[in-house]
Amino acid sequence: MKLRILTVGDVVGSAGLAYLGKNLRVLKREKHIDFCVVNGENASMVGMTPRQADDIFFAGADVITLGNHIWNRREIIPYLEDTAYVLRPANLAPQLPGIGYHTYDTVAGPLAVINLVGRCGMDFGPDNPFLLVEKLLKELDARMILVEIHAEATSEKLAMGYLLDGRASAVYGTHTHVPTADLQILPRGTGFVTDLGMTGPAYSVLGVNPKQSIATFRGDLTTRYEQAPGPCKLEGAIFTVDSESGKTVETERVFLHD
């Protein structure tokens, strides 16, 4: 049996949430999606609140993943402690709230989802994701395994893909908000893309108002990030996984826009 998994790039701000709510269920029906993972770590521009998590689930997500902005909205902490359907990076300090991986029931059998955060060019020092994922693979009983690495460096994400080629069903990157053109199936059967892109304002700098981003790079005095006005987009990828082998047999780029 085949499992069709939709992965959606970072949802940015209220505009991204609204666009997701308007389009995700329709997209799932049209593409015959069985399971959907959405990165929500920029739902409030930097972080995600419980209400925003509810909105993402209501839109049609099965699992929400997070990243380096997870603690910018501390009100999410009780939410993390009460559900297995919101994942924070597994390689954060183990005493922190929440979980970083879990196995979910699907129509095609168990699917494990692992959320990791990279270390290159990031502003903090989580545990080594390459060493941790090796340990997690030994603990998992599922044949189908999905791995998200929320990272800045393309090389770090590519290296994770090749490390897990033939051992994970699919590996994909988030965080940089710009979709990469390398959606593929690696030699041993793992679906891979370096970055999914983002869901939110189409004419923006990573979701931020271009004027504000330009001012930042000019060295001007700036304020807290503001989302850009105008039309929106949704970016992501679909991985079709064979439940018997656990390998990806087909990939498809997702790009919706106003």
Domains of the chain listed by start with CATH number:
2-257 (3.60.21.10)
> How much is the pLDDT for 122?
80
CA atoms of 114 and 153, how far apart (whole Å): 19
Is 69 part of the annotated catalytic residue set? yes
pLDDT tens column, 174-225: 999 999 999 999 999 999 999 999 999 999 999 999 999 999 999 998 777 8
> How much is the pLDDT for 121?
85
Residues in the chain: 258
> How much is the pLDDT for 132?
97
CA atoms of 200 and 231, how far apart (whole Å): 8
Tokens at residue 151, please? 């990272």
Listed residue (177, 168, 162) closest to 140, CA to CA: 168
**Are the C-beta atoms of 94 and 76 separated by less than 8 Å?**
no
Which among 32, 69, 150, 257 is annotated as catalytic? 69
**Are the C-beta atoms of 193 and 173 separated by less than 8 Å?**
yes
pLDDT tens column, 154-177: 999 999 999 999 999 999 999 999
91: left (phi over 0), alpha (psi -120 to 50) or beta: alpha
> How much is the pLDDT for 57?
98
Listed residue (63, 55, 117) closest to 87, CA to CA: 63
> How much is the pLDDT for 144?
98
**Are the C-beta atoms of 227 and 208 separated by less than 8 Å?**
yes
The residues of the chain scoring below 50 in pLDDT are none
> How much is the pLDDT for 222?
79
> How much is the pLDDT for 224?
79
Distances (CA, A) of 233 to 133, 141, 154: 32, 36, 22
> How much is the pLDDT for 221?
86
